Amino acid sequence: MDYEDFLLVHLVPFISSPLDGGSSADTGRVSAVFWNGERLQTMGRAVRWAEHLSQLDDYHGRATKLILDIAGVNDSRADFGGLKKALRRGGPYWLEAGAEDENDIFDILTLDPSIAGLGSLRADGLDLFEQAMEISDTCIPILYLQDRGVLFRSHIEDLRMVCDSINDIGYDSCIILDLDSLGGSIDKSLWNQLSSLDLDIVPAGGIDPEDIPFLARSGYEAAVLDPRMITKPRREDSMRPLETEHTLTKPRHTANWA
């Protein structure tokens, strides 16, 4: 089977710089990320934004990236100043910055992403998706799953009911991010079950390039890959090729891995 037409999107968690309030793309950081049961949490070594994007494009060409503003998604404190500088290079970009209302949607759209992702984690309900549909056709819902239910800001809803509802609103596609698998490994039974929905779904969470043949055979045409940090080995590590690419393993505890 030919997978050349399968769209690979690279998840890139954006960490604002504590040194300058997040106003400089030079000091923005990228790291792997997982869900600790309450919020997104970074893990492993954080690398400079520019360094990560440069190496990502070296490996994958002009890769499509889903930028996840960690402060925005966790606390609705998106670093729009830092994002504006960061997104000047290395596109094309999809962007999820934790929009909560119409003003946030406009702020995201001013950054001119290819797709403006609107996550359920910061939404009170379906109203946010209805507002976005009236504003721009570049908006797409991102449904965050925990225990296979859709997490909204203050409640959980049935996934199939939410998918039916956003389809009724007028969306023909959405991103579904499986938080239980993020930073770990793919839940194949989940994606088998969801392949029959009347939406073009972009799976995310625990997905590795090796999972693409399975997703393609299941009928999906795109997927979001977990962050893959590209690092140079230590000087004494002569046995490993330079700039080895690897995926960090999800920890079994929720300690703060900075």
Q: Which two tokens stand for residue 234?
A: 């230590």
H or E segment and range at residue 207: none
pLDDT at position 185: 95
Rounded distance between C-alpha atoms, residue 250 and residue 137, angstroms: 35
Residue 61: pLDDT band with limits 50, 70, 90: low
Residue 53: pLDDT band with limits 50, 70, 90: confident
User: Which among 100, 107, 145 has a CA at the least distance from the CA of 125?
Assistant: 100
Determine the average pLDDT of the residues in 104-118. Answer: 95
pLDDT at position 210: 94
User: Which among 75, 63, 64 has a CA at the least distance from the CA of 119?
Assistant: 75
Specify the pairing of strand 64-69 against strand 7-15: parallel
Determine the average pLDDT of the residues in 74-91. Answer: 84
What Cα–Cα distance (Å) separates residue 240 from each residue in 44, 232, 243? 19, 9, 9
Q: Which two tokens stand for residue 170?
A: 């007028």
pLDDT at position 246: 37
User: Which among 64, 58, 52 has a CA at the least distance from the CA of 91?
Assistant: 64
Residue 243: pLDDT band with limits 50, 70, 90: very low
Q: Hey, what amino acid is at 67?
A: I
| For the ranges 22-36, 62-76, 175-189, 242-256, the one whose mean pLDDT is highest | 175-189
User: What is the CATH number that goes with domain 7-246?
Assistant: 3.20.20.70
Q: What is this structure's pTM?
A: 0.84
Dump pLDDT digits (tens) for 212-231: 999 999 999 999 999 876 55
- Domain residue ranges in the chain: 7-246
pLDDT at position 113: 94
